[in-house]
Every structure is written in structure tokens, then in C-alpha cells.
Structure 1
Amino acid sequence: MNNVAIQELRNLEIFKNICDDSLNKIIEMGVLIKYPSGRHIFRDKDDVKILYVVLSGTVSLYKSNECGHKRAIFILGKGKMINDVIIQDLPSSINCEVFEEAEILSFNKEEFLKLMEVDFILTKNVMCSLSMKVRRLYRQIKNSTGVIKMEKRLCAKLWKLSKDYGYEKNGQVVVDKKITITYLADLLGSKRETISRALKILCNENLIEYKNKQIIVNNQEKLSEFFKAP
């Protein structure tokens, strides 16, 4: 992995503030793999012995029900550890699919755990990664209750996407990802037709614009107010 610079690793969230010795060992033991969009890195129930970190691009973590319908749980981008849960030494409990063409750093789990034993900052970063996922799951559970209308659930999801992947342009916030209605349905565990109707409501309220898979938030504060309104 000599083609990845120490500074590039230092800028990744999962390796932030760890010591130079640890960074050098990470470069020595890591392998950089490029994945095209749509490729699976691992699947539910796989016996995974490798830890994965996103260097560039994005991946999607999802579950499938008995009918084969997807429910996307997370979209993870640069600097995120994908499968920190395998530290528990159990088979994978989720599928990982490349959302956008990605460069992925891979590490032997046992070697990575030994490094965590001697670098507490690295251990803390991994714990923070797990904590972040738990907190996001709490919010998803809260927002998935049946008493919340779909347009409000979609509103909350679009607000989060705009915070994580948005950039300002002409007073609006553009989500820097091409996201289909089908994938929004996967994110919310709903039908495509239901999401299409909810999108139309948000567009009619002038909260967002949606064209050619591009999400544009006209005003993040008003989007948040719409979700919180009774």
C-alpha cells in the first residue's frame, strides 16, 4: 500500500490523531482494492476476516428480507470503517455493496487488533465508529414508527443526506450523490410508488428539487421544521 501517503491516511476519520508508528504499520499491512459500482465487498452471513475502510467513493450497507426486498441501513463515505462489528468474531450480519466506484483499504483483522492493543487512539476511533452507527440506528428506529407520515420520514432522510454529502450552490444545498427513487425506497424500507408520492409532496412544498437523480434542498432549516411540525 505504498501508493497511499501517510498524510492521506492521517486525514481519514478512523486514523485521526494516531501516532506515526501506527500509520507506518497500517501502510505495511494494508491492501488497497478498487471496486466498481454495484460490486459486493461481502454479504450477510459471510465469514469475514478482513476489516475494510473507505478511502474514496461510497458503499451501502443493507439487509434483505425473506422476499428479497432491500433495506439500506447506511451509506458510508471516505474515512469510514465499514465492518467494525466483526471485531466480535461472528459472521457478517449485513451486506456491503459499492454505491459509487470506491477505493477500499483492507486489513487482516488479527493484525489490526494487535495494533489497537498498543494504540489507544486507534481503539478509541474504532469505538467512536461503532457508537456513531448505534446512534444513527436509534434515530432510524425513532423515525420508522408507523405513526410518522412517509413524507416526514423522507424529509428526515434527505436532511441527513444533505448534511453528510451536501455542498452549497446558489443558496441551495446540492446532495453530491446520484440517488434513485428506488434507492430512497431501500433506505426507508418502503415501496417505490410511496416514495415517489412523498417526493412530490416535498417538491410541491418547495422544500426540495429532484431531477435526474439529483436532490437539491432549497432550505435545510425549513426541511427540518417540516419534519418537526405536528
Structure 2
Amino acid sequence: MNNVAIQELRNLEIFKNICDDSLNKIIEMGVLIKYPSGRHIFRDKDDVKILYVVLSGTVSLYKSNECGHKRAIFILGKGKMINDVIIQELPSSINCEVFEEAEILSFNKEEFLKLMEVDFILTKNVMCSLSMKVRRLYRQIKNSTGVIKMEKRLCAKLWKLSKDYGYEKNGQVVVDKKITITYLADLLGSKRETISRALKILCNENLIEYKNKQIIVNNQEKLSEFFKAP
């Protein structure tokens, strides 16, 4: 992994503020793998012995129900650890699919754990990664109750996507990902037709624009107010 610079690693969230010695060991033991869009890195119930970190691109973590329908749980981008839960000695509990072409850093789990034993900042970063996922799951549970209308649930999801992956352009926020209606349905555990109707409502309210898989938020504050309104 010598083609990855120390400064590039230092800028990744999971390795932020760790010592130079740890960074050098990360470079020594890491392997950089490029994955095309649509490739699975691991699947539910796999016995995974490798820890993965996103260097570039994005991946999707999802579960499938008995009928094979996907429910996307997270989209993870640069600097995120994908499968920190395997620190526990159990098989994978989720599927990981590459959403956009990605470069993934991979580490032997046992070697990585030994490094965590001597670098508390690295351990703290991994704990923060786990905590972030738990907090996001709490929000998902709150927003997935049947009493919340789908357009409000979609509104919350689009606000989050615009916050994580958006950039400002001409007074709007453009989500820097091509996202299909089908994938939005996977994110919300709903049918494509239901999401299409909800998108139309948000467009008619002039809260968003949706063309060619591109999401544009006209006003993040108004989008948030729409979700919070009774």
C-alpha cells in the first residue's frame, strides 16, 4: 500500500490524529483494492476476517428480507470504516455492495486489533464510527414508524443525503450522487411507486428537484421544516 501517502491516510476520518508510527504500520499492513460499481465486498453471514475502510467512492450496506427485497441501511463514503462490528467474533450481519466505483483499504482484523491496543486514538476513532452508526439507526427507527407519512420520511432522508454528500450551486444544494428511485425505495424499505409519488409531492412543494437521478435541494431549512411540521 506504498502508493497511499501518509497525509492521505491522516485526512481519513478513521485515522484522524493517530500517531505517525501507527500510520506507518497502517501502510505496511494494509492492502488497497479497487472495486467496480455493483460488486459485493462481503455478504450477510460471511465469516469476514478483514476490516475495510473506504478510501474513495461509496458503498452501500443493506439487508434483504425473505422475499429478496433490499433495505439499504447506510451509504458510506471516504474515510468511513465499513465493518467495524466484526471486532466481535461473529459472522457478518449485513451485505456490502459497492455503490460507486471505490478504492477500499483492507486490513487483517487481528493485526488491526493489536494496533488498537497500543493506540488509544485509533481505538477511540473506531468507537466513534460504531457510535455514529448506532445514532443513525436510532434516527431511522424513529422515522420509519407507520404514523409518519412517506413524503416526510423521504424528506428526512433527502435532507441527510444533502448534508452528507451535497455541495452548493446557485443557491441550491446538489447531492453529489446519482440515486435512482429504486435505490431510494431500498433506503426507505418501500415500493418504487410509493417513493415516486412522494418525490412528486416534494417537487410540487418546490422543496427539491429530481432529474436524471440527480437530487437538488432548493432549501435545506425548508426541507427540514417540512419534515417537522405537524
* CA deviations over 1:94-122 (Å, ceiling 9, x no partner): 00000000000000000000000000000
TM-score (norm 2): 1.00
CA–CA distance in 1 between the matches of 2:170 and 2:14? 33
Q: State the secondary structure of the residue aligned to 2:74.
A: strand
* CA deviations over 1:69-117 (Å, ceiling 9, x no partner): 0000000000000000000010000000000000000000000000000
CA–CA distance in 2 between the matches of 1:47 and 1:9? 27
* CA deviations over 1:5-64 (Å, ceiling 9, x no partner): 000000000000000000000000000000000000000000000000000000000000
**Fraction of identical pairs, as percent:** 100
CA–CA distance in 1 between the matches of 2:90 and 2:121? 24
CA–CA distance in 2 between the matches of 1:120 and 1:11? 18
Q: State the secondary structure of the residue aligned to 2:98.
A: strand
Structure 1: any 5+ residue segments left out of the alignment? Answer: none
Match of 2:23 in 1: 23
* CA deviations over 1:180-229 (Å, ceiling 9, x no partner): 00000000000000000000000000000000000000000000000000
CA–CA distance in 2 between the matches of 1:25 and 1:208? 46
- 1:80 matched to 2:89? The reply is no
CA–CA distance in 1 between the matches of 2:104 and 2:12? 12
Q: State the secondary structure of the residue aligned to 1:195.
A: helix
CA–CA distance in 2 between the matches of 1:88 and 1:145? 30
Match of 1:48 in 2: 48
CA–CA distance in 1 between the matches of 2:85 and 2:40? 18
Q: CA deviation at 1:136?
A: 0.1
Aligned length: 230
Q: CA deviation at 1:132?
A: 0.1
TM-score (norm 1): 1.00
CA–CA distance in 2 between the matches of 1:171 and 1:80? 29
Any residues of structure 2 matched to 1:71-220 within 5 Å, and which? Answer: 71-220=71-220
> Deviation above 4 Å: which 4+ runs of structure 1?
none
Q: CA deviation at 1:145?
A: 0.2
- 1:59 matched to 2:65? The reply is no
CA–CA distance in 1 between the matches of 2:25 and 2:223? 45
Q: State the secondary structure of the residue aligned to 2:27.
A: helix
CA–CA distance in 2 between the matches of 1:39 and 1:89? 25
Structure 2: any 5+ residue segments left out of the alignment? Answer: none
CA–CA distance in 1 between the matches of 2:16 and 2:125? 8
